Amino acid sequence: LMGFFWGGFVCLFFFSRKKCQMCTNLIMLVAALFMAFSKSAKSFEMILVGRFLYGIGTGFSLNIHPQYVGEISPKKLRGFTNSTVAVFLTLGKLTGQVIGLREILGSEAMWPWLLASSGLSALVQLVTLPFFPDSPSYLLIQKGNEEACRKAIRKLWGEGDHQAEINDIMKEKAAMTTTKTLRVLELMKEPSLRWQLYILMTVMTTLQLCGINAV
């Protein structure tokens, strides 16, 4: 929960989506190392630390992935790409169940590598993300760099006239300038947003306690 809420704020107001994802992958890799060497070190504390870091990394990813994927996708594919969050989350659970079989990594000798296997996807992302541009929305809205925005759009969507997409981003930027940005405490004290915040916290809390992870 902590990673979920704070990940969104950090991503939105301080760093680019791509850099946030790379930092998240570093956290996941550190967690994987704690898991992998916990047995040889005979330390259950390393497992607890690894689990905690995995949770923080997952919370960040659940915020950053849909933002970044949605912003680098053409408008007609935005809904489809955002749905990949749920698809890959389910695929990850399925993969974990398969490799957790005793015949694969579920044995007494291999369980540390089972717990560390999540670091593999983090490593792949960490290696490939530097070749992707920052999102056009971030470059234009947060950085105010229209030329970098156009370059990122051409790299992502190919050559062509993308002025309509740039105009949409400019409208979004204009709308944001007229909207007050709330700090965390201001957000929690804002009466008009209180019920939305209660609902979000209730949904996320019950999701963790409903037994889906055990299933």
- What ranges do the domains of the chain cover? 1-132, 182-214
Long-range pairs, 170-174, Cβ under 8 A, ≥24: 170/140, 172/137, 172/141, 173/140, 173/141
Region for residue 211 given its phi and psi (left: phi exceeds 0; alpha: psi -120 to 50; beta: otherwise): left
Dump pLDDT digits (tens) for 17-31. Answer: 888 888 899 999 999
Q: What is the pLDDT of residue 212?
A: 64
pTM of the model: 0.75
Q: What is the pLDDT of residue 25?
A: 92
Q: 10 Å Cβ neighbour count for 109? A: 8
Q: Which fold has domain 1-132?
A: Growth Hormone; Chain: A; (1.20.1250)
Dump pLDDT digits (tens) for 46-60. Answer: 999 999 999 888 888
Dump pLDDT digits (tens) for 47-95. Answer: 999 999 998 888 888 888 888 888 888 888 888 887 787 788 888 888 8
Percent of the chain clearing pLDDT 70 (strictly above): 88
Enter the DSSP assignment of 139. I
Q: Are 103 and 16 in contact (CB under 8 A)?
A: no
Q: What is the pLDDT of residue 10?
A: 52
Dump pLDDT digits (tens) for 112-124. Answer: 999 999 899 999 9
Distance CA 177, CA 59 (A): 28
pLDDT surpassing 60 at residue 173: yes
pLDDT surpassing 50 at residue 140: yes
Tokens matching residue 7: 């990940």
Q: 10 Å Cβ neighbour count for 105? A: 19
Closest among 175, 178, 208, 181 to 193, alpha carbons compared: 181
Q: What is the pLDDT of residue 161?
A: 76
**Average per-residue pLDDT for the chain:** 83
Q: What is the pLDDT of residue 117?
A: 92
Of residues 71 and 3, more confidently modeled: 71
What's the distance, Cα to Cα, between the start and end of the chain in Å? 20
